[in-house]
Amino acid sequence: MERPRKIWLCADDYGLAPGVNAAIRDLIVRERINATSVMVVAPSFGRSEALALNILNSGTTGVAIGLHLTLTAPFRPMTERFRPLRRGRFLPVGSALVAGMLRRYRHEPLMVEIAAQVAAFITAFDHPPDFIDGHQHVQVFPQVRDAVINVVKAVVPDAWVRQCGRVPEARGRDDRKGALLDRLSRRFVRRTEAAGVRTNPAFAGTYDFSAGLDFAALFPHFIEGMPEQGLVMCHPGYPDAELAGLDSLTFQRQREFDFFAGPAFPNVLAAHGVTLR
């Protein structure tokens, strides 16, 4: 009998809203996720939220804790010279991707902002991030990717960085977001390999977040063919008013939480030969 493959199931957006934070901590206690990434610029993140994760991580249910680099609206930069902005905030995700493709970011302020978010993480947690990923996948965007690699090498060389390329079995599916991330990640991985920066070998978790979608039926497709140390992102949460004011992904977070917290989830992992521990 083959040994189960360990994968990362990473709950993104810790810090975004109280209900998101509580749901992620709940899943950590239940041992239903093994990683989470933190938005240090979000309004519901502070020292107390970091302390709560550190306390959970001091026991037997430890998880990897990473920085969820945030460079898109509606959030604001931590540094003064970051450009381009729109009314003092980061650009929306589509405009941010175009800005990178057209090389409109100023490289030095971009690196300073990324380094500032890394420093804020270290200050809050008293240790560096285990990994770095990006809110709305900004870490693989043109220009941003080079700045991320440079900051990782200079400041947190032991951290790995999330790439968003899918396994071959997934590439034939109708998933425009996944296909775009495949293309961006191929270039990103070439740069990380040249720089000696580690990445996850595969990625999954993109879907259209539509109202009628059955997440429990979709999730097994994310782990089909997932190799050892592959990563599946997820977005569990309890919807609340603060979340609704910041993000369009609301009720879908409850749907994801219910699946991961429910009795069927461990059986799905076992049936596909994967484990979180």
Count: domains in the chain: 1
Looking at the predicted structure, is the pLDDT value of residue 189 above 80? yes
Rounded to an integer, the average pLDDT of 41-52 is 96
Domain of residue 131, CATH code: 3.20.20.370
For residue 172, what pLDDT band results from cuts at 50, 70 and 90? Answer: low
Question: How does pLDDT run across 235-260, given as a tens digit for each residue?
Answer: 999 999 999 999 988 999 999 999 99
**Sequence-ordered list of residues with C-beta below 8 angstroms from that of 37, at least 6 positions apart, any chain:** 10, 11, 12, 13, 14, 65, 66, 67, 68, 131, 133
Dihedral sign computed on CA atoms, order 209, 148, 152, 180: positive
Looking at residue 219, its pLDDT comes to 96
Q: What is the pLDDT of residue 62?
A: 80
Does position 17 have pLDDT exceeding 80, yes or no?
yes
Instruction: Name which of 76-90, 198-212, 214-228 the model is least confident about.
Output: 198-212
Segment 117-139, tens digit of pLDDT: 999 999 999 999 999 999 999 99
Q: CA triplet 36, 192, 275: central angle to 5 degrees?
A: 40
Residue 87: partners with Cβ closer than 8 Å, 6 or more residues away: none
Query: Within 13 A of 12's CA, how many CA atoms are on the CB side?
Result: 21
Give the domain extent around 187: 5-275
Q: Quote the mean pLDDT of the chain.
A: 94
What amino acid is encoded at 92 in this protein?
P
**What is residue 60's predicted lDDT score, i.e. its pLDDT?**
66
Q: What is the CA radius of gyration of the chain?
A: 18
pLDDT of residue 209: 77
